[in-house]
A = this chain, B = another copy of it.
Amino acid sequence: MFTSPLNGAEIRKDFPIFSKTMRGGGRLVYLDSGATSQKPNSVLDGERYFYENHNAAVHRGSHLLAEEANEAYEGARAIVAHFLGANLDEIIFTKSATEGLNLLAYSFGNSASTSRFALNPGDRIVLSEMEHHANLIPWQQLAKRCGAEIVWFPVDPDGRLDLSAMNDIISERTKIVALTHQSNVLGTINPLDQLISRTHEVGAVFVLDACQSAPHFAIDVKSLGPDFLVFSGHKALGPTGIGVLWGRAELLEEMEPFLTGGSMIESVTMTDATWASAPRKFEAGVPNMAGAVGLGIALQYLLNVGMNNVEAHEHALTQYALTKFADLERVRIIGPTDTKMRGSVLSFEIDGVHPHDAGQVLDQHGIAVRTGHHCAWPLMRKLGIVGTTRASFYIYNDEKDVDALIDGILATQKYFKV
């Protein structure tokens, strides 16, 4: 039994890629939205419309095209702000979540030693074992540069954060806590309330990696309470090469810039420069204008669908899939096996079949999944596996896609005689 407010097959009509014929001759069953999402026509049309009608460098010209480009770009910023419940000047366009996290790490590293963001030897950055490399290595590098320490929450056998030692892990020495909202491997959604209040209790800042959450359920930054948040446009129906960093206005104001160059300055001499205020301070150079415009349209598409519907739809798909998986033999879910505090990312192992081989057979059936360590190598090591096969759902999927996956797994087992 499958009920959802959304009809995946109907939604697929908005996404031109679904008319493609796949390797095996069948339709595309796209279960890799955790890696990147497909794009609706409206996003592709909107990018093109920008280039055909308003293309000019923003912030730098006073002619008509430049005015229009500016309006389109700042209009996209307004949509992102609305999407997150944030203020306009708190939205910074980056090229990706990865850049957003690096921006924070470098900006903190650039701070004067008296700044609240400065890390001194012995200071701590708190992460978790389920972090994506993008929310791990930038902090490792920052820690190395500043002599700070990385400490982390372990992951328990159910794929949940072990918070039993929370008050020791987030301590008075903690300056930064950077955690994922939802694991891109396990699907686990982390309980932010207690983590954020503990973080603020010790005077640290909380950085939220919302790559796997912002595209999938409603987020209101003001009520959720982190200090910074990043996500990638390409996972949220948007174009490639555009991402978002949100930060609290008063923190952005205090921060040092990251990339420097044109359009982020107040005044410049040969030896010195002063900065514009946020968001400009963090957007050096001619930005990805068409990308921002496309992302604005993508988020508007999601808002029109309704983020609660998106969430309910993915919940229904996950529920349906978990039930079906329970009937499979010699197939193990890696991550929570119920839908409580869990999103629609579903990792699994097939006994006797390496994920890469499983992915290959599924591909032959037109089913696109991701295989491997999912840029979360420490988590793989912790779980004692080399990788998983991962299916991840989005609005354009439906229960038939889950059925196809299940059939594909059975075919895989048959093919490899396991």
Quick check: B66 and A368 within 8 Å, CB to CB? yes
> Among residues 256 to 315 in chain A, which have CB atoms less than 8 Å away from a CB atom of chain B?
258-263, 265, 267-273, 284-291
> Which of B150, B258, B273 meets A271, CB within 8 Å?
B150
Q: Which of A62, A101, A287, A367 has the most CB of B within 10 A?
A: A62
Known A-B contacts A273-B137, A378-B268; the reply to A35 vs B259 at CB < 8 A is no
Contact partners of A61 in chain B: CB under 8 A: 32, 35, 359, 368, 370-371
The contact string, 1 if C-beta is below 8 Å from chain B, for chain A 373-386, is 00101100100000
Q: Indicate if A360 sits at the interface (CB-CB under 8 A).
A: yes
> Which of B38, B136, B258, B369 meets A270, CB within 8 Å?
B136
Q: Indicate if A120 sits at the interface (CB-CB under 8 A).
A: no
Quick check: A288 and B286 within 8 Å, CB to CB? no
Quick check: B241 and A95 within 8 Å, CB to CB? yes
Q: Indicate if A52 sits at the interface (CB-CB under 8 A).
A: yes
Contact partners of A272 in chain B: CB under 8 A: 140
Closest to A105 in B: B260
Q: Indicate if A118 sits at the interface (CB-CB under 8 A).
A: no
Quick check: B134 and A241 within 8 Å, CB to CB? no
Closest to A131 in B: B270
Q: Indicate if A234 sits at the interface (CB-CB under 8 A).
A: yes
Closest to A235 in B: B286
Known A-B contacts A101-B261, A242-B241, A288-B288; the reply to A17 vs B269 at CB < 8 A is no
Chain A contact residues, majority secondary structure: mixed
Contact partners of A132 in chain B: CB under 8 A: 261-262
Q: Indicate if A65 sits at the interface (CB-CB under 8 A).
A: yes
Quick check: B62 and A359 within 8 Å, CB to CB? yes
Quick check: A370 and B60 within 8 Å, CB to CB? yes
Known A-B contacts A35-B286, A95-B241, A242-B241; the reply to A53 vs B20 at CB < 8 A is yes
Q: Indicate if A395 sits at the interface (CB-CB under 8 A).
A: no
Q: Indicate if A129 sits at the interface (CB-CB under 8 A).
A: yes
Docked pose: A360 CA to B204 CA in angstroms: 49
Docked pose: A412 CA to B138 CA in angstroms: 53
Quick check: B232 and A286 within 8 Å, CB to CB? yes
> Among residues 343 to 400 in chain A, which have CB atoms less than 8 Å away from a CB atom of chain B?
356, 359-360, 362-363, 367-372, 375, 377-378, 381
Q: How many copies does the complex hold?
A: 2
* A272 to B: closest C-beta gap in Å: 7
> Which of B30, B95, B138, B259 meets A102, CB within 8 Å?
B259
Quick check: A56 and B44 within 8 Å, CB to CB? no
Quick check: A57 and B32 within 8 Å, CB to CB? yes
Closest to A355 in B: B62
Known A-B contacts A241-B241, A378-B268; the reply to A44 vs B36 at CB < 8 A is no
Contact partners of A377 in chain B: CB under 8 A: 265, 267-269
> Which of B97, B265, B269, B290 meets A240, CB within 8 Å?
B290
Q: Indicate if A39 sits at the interface (CB-CB under 8 A).
A: yes
Known A-B contacts A44-B51, A268-B133; the reply to A22 vs B289 at CB < 8 A is no
Docked pose: A30 CA to B51 CA in angstroms: 14
- Residue contacts A-B, CB under 8 angstroms, 19 given: A16-B51, A17-B53, A22-B64, A35-B61, A48-B48, A63-B367, A63-B369, A98-B262, A102-B260, A133-B265, A137-B260, A138-B259, A150-B271, A234-B286, A241-B242, A241-B290, A261-B375, A268-B378, A270-B378
Of all A-B residue pairs in the complex, the 7 with the closest CB atoms, nearest first, are A241-B288, A98-B285, A134-B261, A262-B375, A137-B260, A35-B57, A98-B261
Please name 17 further chain A to chain B contacts, defined as beta carbons within 8 Å, in addition to the given A44-B52, A56-B368, A269-B381, sorted by A numbering: A20-B53, A44-B48, A60-B370, A62-B360, A62-B371, A95-B95, A99-B285, A102-B260, A133-B260, A133-B261, A133-B265, A133-B268, A137-B268, A141-B260, A240-B290, A263-B375, A268-B378
